[in-house]
Structure 1
Amino acid sequence: MKIAVDAMGGDNAPQVIVEGIEKARDEWTDLEFVLYGDETKIKKYLKNSDRISIVHTDEEILGTDEPVKAIRSKKNSSMVLAAKSVKAKEADAMLSLGNTGALLAAGIFIVGRIKQVERPALMPTLPVTNSALGVNVLDVGANAEAKPTYLQQWAVMGSIYARDVKQIKEPRIGLLNNGTEEDKGDTLHKEAFKLLSNTEGINFIGNVESNNILSGVADVIVTDGFTGNAALKATEGTATILLKEMKHALLNNGFFTKMGAAIVAPSLKGLRDMFDTSHAGGAVLLGLKSPVIKAHGAADSKTVFYTVKQIYDMLLNDTINKANTYFEQMNKKDEDK
Structure 2
Amino acid sequence: MTAEPVLAIDVMGGDEGAPVTMKAAELARKRYPELKFLLFGDETVIGEHLSGLPKLAERSSVVHTDVEVKGTDRPSQVLRTARRSSMGLAVQAVKAGEAQAAVSAGNTGALMAMAKLGLKTMPGIDRPALAALLPTMGTDSVMLDLGANSECDDENLIQFALMGAAFARIVLGVDEPKVAILNIGEEELKGTDEHKEAAEALKIASPGLAMEYTGFVEGDKIGRGDVDVIVSDGFSGNVALKTAEGTARLVVELLRRAFRSNLFSIIGFFMSRRVLKQLRSHLDPNAHNGAVFLGLNGLVVKSHGGANIEGFANAIGVARDLITDDIAHRIREDLARFEERRAVPEAAQ
* TM-score class normalised by the smaller sequence: over 0.9
3-state DSSP class of the match of 2:223?
Answer: coil
Is residue 2:199 matched to residue 1:199? no
CA displacement at 1:330 relative to structure 2: 4.6
Q: Which amino acid aligns with 1:245?
A: L
1:220 aligned residue: 229
1:306 aligned residue: 314
Q: Answer yes or no: is the 8 Å Cα contact 1:174–1:208 preserved in 2.
A: yes
Q: What CA RMSD, in Å, does the superposition of the two structures yield over aligned residues?
A: 1.7
Is residue 2:134 matched to residue 1:126? yes
1:102-141 deviations in Å (ceiling 9; x for gaps): 111111111222121100011111101122xx11110011
Is residue 2:37 matched to residue 1:28? no
CA displacement at 1:262 relative to structure 2: 1.4
User: Separation in 2 of the partners of 1:44 and 1:154?
Assistant: 42
2:280 aligned residue: 272
> What residue ranges of structure 1 are gaps of 5+ in the alignment?
none
3-state DSSP class of the match of 2:84?
Answer: coil
Q: Which amino acid aligns with 1:149?
A: E
Is residue 2:181 matched to residue 1:175? yes
CA displacement at 1:96 relative to structure 2: 0.4
Is residue 2:264 matched to residue 1:256? yes
CA displacement at 1:242 relative to structure 2: 1.4
What is the percentage of aligned positions where both structures have the same residue? 38
Is residue 2:62 matched to residue 1:54? yes
* Equivalences, count: 334
CA displacement at 1:30 relative to structure 2: 1.7
User: Separation in 2 of the partners of 1:228 and 1:334?
Assistant: 26
Q: Answer yes or no: is the 8 Å Cα contact 1:107–1:113 preserved in 2.
A: no
User: Separation in 2 of the partners of 1:111 and 1:84?
Assistant: 8
CA displacement at 1:334 relative to structure 2: 6.8
User: Separation in 2 of the partners of 1:29 and 1:107?
Assistant: 27
Describe the shift of the 1:26–1:271 C-alpha distance in structure 2 as closer, same or farther (beyond 3 A): closer
Mapping of residues 1-337 of structure 1, within 5 Å: 1-46=5-50, 47-48=53-54, 49-131=57-139, 134-200=140-206, 201=209, 202-251=211-260, 253-331=261-339
Q: Which amino acid aligns with 1:310?
A: V
User: Separation in 2 of the partners of 1:310 and 1:254?
Assistant: 43
> What residue ranges of structure 2 are gaps of 5+ in the alignment?
none
Q: Answer yes or no: is the 8 Å Cα contact 1:59–1:74 preserved in 2.
A: no
1:217-275 deviations in Å (ceiling 9; x for gaps): 11110010110011111111111011112101211x22122112211222222221220
CA displacement at 1:88 relative to structure 2: 0.7
Q: Answer yes or no: is the 8 Å Cα contact 1:87–1:112 preserved in 2.
A: no
Q: Answer yes or no: is the 8 Å Cα contact 1:120–1:288 preserved in 2.
A: yes
Q: Which amino acid aligns with 1:153?
A: Q
Q: Which amino acid aligns with 2:44?
A: T
User: Separation in 2 of the partners of 1:244 and 1:43?
Assistant: 40
User: Separation in 2 of the partners of 1:90 and 1:239?
Assistant: 39
Q: Answer yes or no: is the 8 Å Cα contact 1:60–1:74 preserved in 2.
A: no
User: Separation in 2 of the partners of 1:74 and 1:320?
Assistant: 25
Describe the shift of the 1:336–1:273 C-alpha distance in structure 2 as closer, same or farther (beyond 3 A): closer
CA displacement at 1:298 relative to structure 2: 0.1
Q: Which amino acid aligns with 2:6?
A: K
Q: Answer yes or no: is the 8 Å Cα contact 2:145–2:237 preserved in 1.
A: yes
3-state DSSP class of the match of 1:125?
Answer: strand
User: Separation in 1 of the partners of 2:98 and 2:337?
Assistant: 29
3-state DSSP class of the match of 1:5?
Answer: strand
1:191-237 deviations in Å (ceiling 9; x for gaps): 22112212341310111111111111111100101100111111111
Output the TM-score relative to the length of structure 1. Answer: 0.95
User: Separation in 2 of the partners of 1:256 and 1:129?
Assistant: 29
Q: Answer yes or no: is the 8 Å Cα contact 2:82–2:89 preserved in 1.
A: no
User: Separation in 1 of the partners of 2:338 and 2:250?
Assistant: 45
Q: Answer yes or no: is the 8 Å Cα contact 1:57–1:76 preserved in 2.
A: yes
Output the TM-score relative to the length of structure 2. Answer: 0.91
User: Separation in 2 of the partners of 1:333 and 1:170?
Assistant: 17
Describe the shift of the 1:330–1:135 C-alpha distance in structure 2 as closer, same or farther (beyond 3 A): closer
User: Separation in 2 of the partners of 1:332 and 1:216?
Assistant: 30
3-state DSSP class of the match of 2:179?
Answer: strand
